[in-house]
Amino acid sequence: MKIKAYAKVNISLDVVGKREDGYHLLEMIMQSIDLYDEIRIEKRKSNITIKCNKQYVPTDERNLAYKAAKLFMEEYNINSGVEINIKKNIPVCAGLAGGSTDGAAVLKILNRIFDINASDEELMKLGLRLGADVPYCIKGGTALCKGVGEEVTELPSFKDKILVLVKPPFGVSTKGVYQEFNLDKVRSHPNTNVLINAIEENDLKLVCSNMKNLLENVTLKKHKILINIKEEMKGFGAVGAMMSGSGPTVFAFFDDMLKAQKCFEKMKNKYNDVFITRTI
């Protein structure tokens, strides 16, 4: 069985507190985009094996797809094996939930091929044990995510908006960014309610003028090139540009395909990982 595992961008990322165990409490608006990995799973007699088209992707227990399969099979007492094939298109360590979406896809496929019939809510609960973005990736679409990612509320669709994404040639550790983040130094937070209203009104300009990601301060300070990428994309007529997640990918919304195409072509001359896509 094969399904598409979609990437996400953060339309907003707010840090509203910190738990005693060190986890940050978040309030985020997440959006699926039409950039995806393809996950195919076949039943085997024993063992979990992973094959991937990209050599830099680990194919052992470090891979979230492997962890997802192991967790699911332990949870539901499944005594057989699986072969997981990953066709990787989403860049890794990019702030696009490339690992989380693969893990979510594995849970969804195993739920079907082993006839477990677990609800989305049950899969999301299981997914939270793998990572904060996994519950959202099970649902997808446009959503408000709170807590450490476990509270996922569906929002009105914000689909068919044109995006260009640029991932510079380095990765960023999410854990490292959160360790350096200092909530006490934050002077202004995203206005989540205004953003939700803008999404409900399907108002791209209003969404773009209110997009905010508190983790930008940490990652942009270390990697000044991201500031240049944002400004350059705005120079091509982007309605708004922002870093997704902990970075380093920068995405820009366009209201005109010709402008987006021009931006895509120019950025492609400078960077390998450049995509033109849409929200879904």
Write down the mean pLDDT value for the chain: 97
Backbone φ and ψ for 117, nearest 5 degrees, come out as 60, 35
CA dihedral 255→213→149→141, nearest 10 degrees, is: 0
274, containing H or E segment: strand 273-278
Q: Is 187 exposed, middle or buried (0-12, 13-18, 19+ CB in 10 A)?
A: exposed
Told to judge if 266 belongs to the known catalytic residues of this protein, a careful annotator would answer no
Check pLDDT > 90 for residue 21. no
Residues 6+ apart with CB under 8 A from 198: 206, 207, 210
The single residue of 8, 67, 139, 259 carrying the catalytic annotation is 8
Q: What is the largest CA-CA distance in the chain?
A: 56
Angle between the 225-235 and 257-268 helix axes, to the nearest 10 degrees?
140
The single residue of 14, 37, 102, 133 carrying the catalytic annotation is 133
pLDDT at 145: 98
- Look up the pTM and report it: 0.95
Q: Say how far apart CA 85 and CA 69 lie, in whole Å.
A: 12
pLDDT digits (tens, 9 = 90+) for 124-146: 999 999 999 999 999 999 999 99
pLDDT digits (tens, 9 = 90+) for 167-217: 999 999 988 999 999 999 999 999 999 999 999 999 999 999 999 999 999
pLDDT at 236: 98
- CATH class of the region 162-278: alpha beta
Residues 6+ apart with CB under 8 A from 182: none
CATH code: domain 2-154 is 3.30.230.10
pLDDT at 114: 98
Sorted by where each begins, the domain ranges of the chain are: 2-154, 162-278
Contact indicator for 207, 11 with CB cutoff of 8 Å? yes
Using alpha carbons, list the distances in angstroms from residue 95 to 84, 106, 213.
Answer: 23, 20, 12
Query: Among 147, 129, 195, 125, which residue's Cα sits nearest to residue 139?
Result: 125
Q: Pick out the residues of the known binding site.
A: 91-101
Told to judge if 256 belongs to the known catalytic residues of this protein, a careful annotator would answer no
pLDDT at 149: 85
Q: Pick out the residues of the known binding site for ATP.
A: 91-101
Tell me the pLDDT band of 83, cut-offs 50, 70 and 90: very high
